[in-house]
Amino acid sequence: MASDLSAAGATPVAAAAVPAGLPWGVAVLAVGLAVEALASRTGGAAGDRPAALLGLALTSVGLALAGPGLTHVCGRLLQAVRPGALRLLAGRVLMAEAARIGRPLGVVCAVLAAAYAMASLQHRQDATSGPLVTLGVLLVAGCTLATLLTAAVEARQARAGTTEELRRLGAPAATLRKAAVLRALALLALFGPLTLVVAELSAWPLSR
């Protein structure tokens, strides 16, 4: 059964090339973090607030650009160091769907990081603007999450034929569900800490 699943993971789900936006996304993200770090070294003067906001915008764009590439890398890491059939299958699916789900996932991480940074800025602003800022953040986050869910549904529909082929080759339904859970955990393990780091670095110069 394991050999059948290994063959199923290697044949129906073909490995895709690394998305071209990864180097640009990492570069823009690094520039954004550098701008925010430079703004934080000046002691949080009022004139440096635009620089901090520019850095926040750059980091958000960098996360969105790097999303597909990071998803592809996540799938490749799942297959590293003598992978079993389950990791091989989950990794191949992530690599194949990196371009489809990576961009919305990167945008979600960017929105969450920006929302955290803007929440830290809200404490220094007029309290009357708080509800409007919160409403705007919730609206953008809701639209972004809806886009991510739509991309996930489209990806599931796109691989429906592959799923049927895997079942025909003898892959149990429980194994396919475990592979889906493993993909979700792998993405959370990569994008979760990255979002937290970017959010903290973005909030630091804005809250000073």
Which of residues 48 and 196 earns the better pLDDT score?
A: 196
pLDDT > 60? residue 4 = no
For range 104-130, the mean pLDDT: 71
pLDDT > 80? residue 31 = yes
Q: Position of tokens 């990806």? A: 155
For range 117-123, the mean pLDDT: 68
Evaluated on CA atoms 159, 160, 165, 171, the torsion sign reads positive
Could you tell me the residue ranges of all domains in the chain?
A: 2-206
For range 153-176, the mean pLDDT: 68
For range 157-171, the mean pLDDT: 65
Residues 6 or more apart in contact with residue 56 via CB below 8 angstroms: 32, 36, 113, 114, 117, 202, 206
* pLDDT computed for residue 10 by the predictor: 43
* pLDDT computed for residue 133 by the predictor: 59
* pLDDT category of residue 70 using cuts at 50, 70 and 90: very high
Among 79, 30, 83, 75, CA closest to 55: 30
* pLDDT category of residue 190 using cuts at 50, 70 and 90: very high
